[in-house]
Amino acid sequence: MKRDWLPTTLLAAAIVLAAIIVSYTVISSLSKQEQISVTGLAQVDFMSDVIVWEGSFERKAMELNEAYALIRSDADVIRKYLAEKGVNPKEIVIGAVEIKKSFAEVPVGDNLVQKFDGYLLTQSVKIESRNVDHIEMVSREISELLNSGLALQSEVPKYYYSKLKDLKIDLLKQASADGMERAKAIAVNSGSSLGKLFQGNMGTFQITAPNSDEEYSWGGAFNTTSRRKTASITVKMEFLVQ
């Protein structure tokens, strides 16, 4: 019986073997070539164009409907206050009411037992705006609401940048150009010329406060407390040497 499949199988095996040999030869030749490894760096200072302020307020009463009426009244007071301060209503978000039963420890004989002492209702308020100067001022003055008996907890504003994607791409271009210039300088000083890029990888992208002692992290720092920021990025590059 003729085995027609045998020549085809042998031919396929020969092609695979040839491909492996060629690949090994290319890899071996590249590994024997001299390479230059550099790290390109780029950084830029910029101003945040988005501000986010958040706060929360709470009310407590023995009856749930009484506590709810109180906190609903507080929410109305906050809305009115912010409107009088010129905050755009579309930028204000009042969160859902969170309801918890509150208990206090009371002595009973030699023991302490949990006794229900009312319903604790909590609600959040948030402003997200591009009018950074104005909301920054409002966040500093909002403690005025404490005079109305409103138990408001105000947080420190957070600052963001709406064009972060474009900024990151520009920094990558600058860091790549910086890395190439470094590699060229090394090649020239060693009496060689720079060849093609062999490998390139983006390093860590960091956003920190300018002139600060913030620690850089492997995952990338992302500062939100400073309006003024410094963004930096690194690019690790390997070039062949001719």
pLDDT digits (tens, 9 = 90+) for 22-78: 444 444 444 446 888 999 999 999 999 999 999 999 999 999 999 999 999 999 999
CA separation for the pair 208, 222 (Å, rounded) = 6
Q: Tell me the backbone φ, ψ of residue 23, rounded to 5 degrees.
A: -60, -45
The tokens for 158 are 């957070």
What is residue 144's predicted lDDT score, i.e. its pLDDT? 86
Please check the confidence at residue 10 and state whether its pLDDT lies above 50.
no
**Which SS3 state, helix, strand or coil, does residue 56 take?**
strand
* Mean pLDDT of the 12-20 span: 46
Structure confidence at residue 228 as a pLDDT band (50, 70, 90): very high
The DSSP code for 148 is: G
How far does CA 77 lie from the centroid of its chain? Answer: 33
Longest dimension (CA), the chain: 103
> With 0-12 CB in 10 A as exposed, 13-18 as middle and 19+ as buried, what is 92?
middle
Straight-line distance from the first to the last Cα atom of the chain, in angstroms, rounded to the nearest whole number: 58
Nearest C-alpha neighbor of 120 from the set 64, 55, 56, 54: 64
The answer to whether the CB of 71 falls within 8 A of the CB of 59 is: yes
The answer to whether the CB of 163 falls within 8 A of the CB of 48 is: no
**Which SS3 state, helix, strand or coil, does residue 127 take?**
strand
Name the CATH superfamily housing domain 50-104+112-160: Protein of unknown function (DUF541), domain 2 (3.30.70.2970)
Q: What is the pLDDT of residues 171-219, one digit of tens each?
A: 999 999 999 999 999 988 888 888 888 888 988 899 999 877 666 555 5
What is residue 11's predicted lDDT score, i.e. its pLDDT? 43
- The domains of the chain are located at 33-47+163-241, 50-104+112-160
* Mean pLDDT of the 76-81 span: 94
On whether the 33-47+163-241 domain is CATH 3.10.105.10, my answer is: no
